[in-house]
Structure 1
């Protein structure tokens, strides 16, 4: 492949990874709870969907998740553990977003300089960023599973029969962002290899002409 095409695709995938992670962090469809209770005539919708920052119940009710402002002295050991997992998630994913900004700038400078070492460094940086995103998403999944186990412990099996839980499209966007971060790193590695091969080829041509 040509160097220009590779770095152009890498720039596009890097930009998309940042955009997808921004959308994921800013939306509230990470975890969805659908309640379809028969013969329910209450005015409130029992279903809810939540994100990293808030929980939306029904059509208009919304509450902020107090990740750092919560009074932990009144919480149980399980609740403190869940809160700790959530705190890690809301730190790691925004941090990954900030790192992506610097990675995109570093990758742009490296591609313009056509330096194999800088391109390899940019590639390693993007792969490092992807570990933050992967860790944050994995911890969120673990947090959700533990929260569901605690929910199942306090809710009767009869009521659980009408509850359907699933991960939403916000989580899917974060997975896409992770995949694109990895793809960006691999493309920058390929660009560095293309420059190295071109340098060896040019050196060989020069020696042959001499």
Structure 2
């Protein structure tokens, strides 16, 4: 009788262990698919955002008395495009100026910063994707932890780049208004009448990429925890 009970108990433990391993495999498989899809979408969004020219949009109404409608434009990280002419490279607008003011130097530094941060984030995503695939195939939870940390750092880099671009655009807008006021007799409200200035969908894609990077990093942490938890459970059963 005791022997039969022992056999049944051992059988129950083995079946429970198989169920736990199956659940772990299924959860890891779902997490892997989620990370691949989300990571790919995040990478594509950031790549498209960097390569397109709709970060900053200026629409001038035909009824404007201070500007012509041909001055409507949409700007990217690398060039500015007018709606009635071809795109041209976005160069330093203060290059011809003699002595730069502190605000102008601040704008130049902000531009250099986001031009460094956003491509760096793309490079981090490429490295993270390679490490993540290796970690999932090898079921190495430590490598997944490193990958998740790297991806979180990439998300912080993207956030820093986006915030720097917003600060750059705000500082550029204030400097442009200041220069226009110095050349015009009208007030700032009348000066910018019928002019619509807003951020474009390229910046929105960069923000979506930031969300995707963060969620992918969280999913990697969850996968690393599942692998570590499953390994600890098997070691306990072995003892």
TM > 0.5: yes
Q: Say which of 80, 85, 94 aligns to 2:119.
A: 94
CA distance in 2, matches of 1:137, 1:43: 30
CA distance in 2, matches of 1:71, 1:98: 34
Q: Cα 1:39–1:48, aligned 2, differ >3 Å: closer, same or farther?
A: closer
Structure 1 unaligned spans of 5+: none
CA distance in 2, matches of 1:70, 1:3: 55
RMSD: 2.3
Q: Say which of 195, 198, 201 aligns to 1:166.
A: 198
Q: Say which of 108, 111, 121 aligns to 2:146.
A: 121
Shift in Å, 1:90: 0.8
Moved more, 93-102 or 69-78: 69-78
Q: Cα 1:5–1:163, aligned 2, differ >3 Å: closer, same or farther?
A: same
Q: Say which of 185, 208, 212 aligns to 1:176.
A: 208
CA distance in 2, matches of 1:143, 1:16: 27
The answer to whether the 8 Å contact 1:103/1:125 transfers is yes
CA distance in 1, matches of 2:168, 2:68: 30
1:191 aligns with 2:216: no
Q: Say which of 44, 48, 64 aligns to 2:73.
A: 48
Structure 2 unaligned spans of 5+: 1-25, 182-187
CA distance in 1, matches of 2:101, 2:88: 21
Indicate the residue corresponding to 1:82 in structure 2.
107
Which has the bigger relative contact order, CA under 8 A and spacing at least 6? 1
Shift in Å, 1:70: 4.5
The answer to whether the 8 Å contact 1:96/1:132 transfers is yes
CA distance in 2, matches of 1:173, 1:133: 11
1:23 aligns with 2:48: yes
The answer to whether the 8 Å contact 1:20/1:176 transfers is yes
Shift in Å, 1:200: 2.2
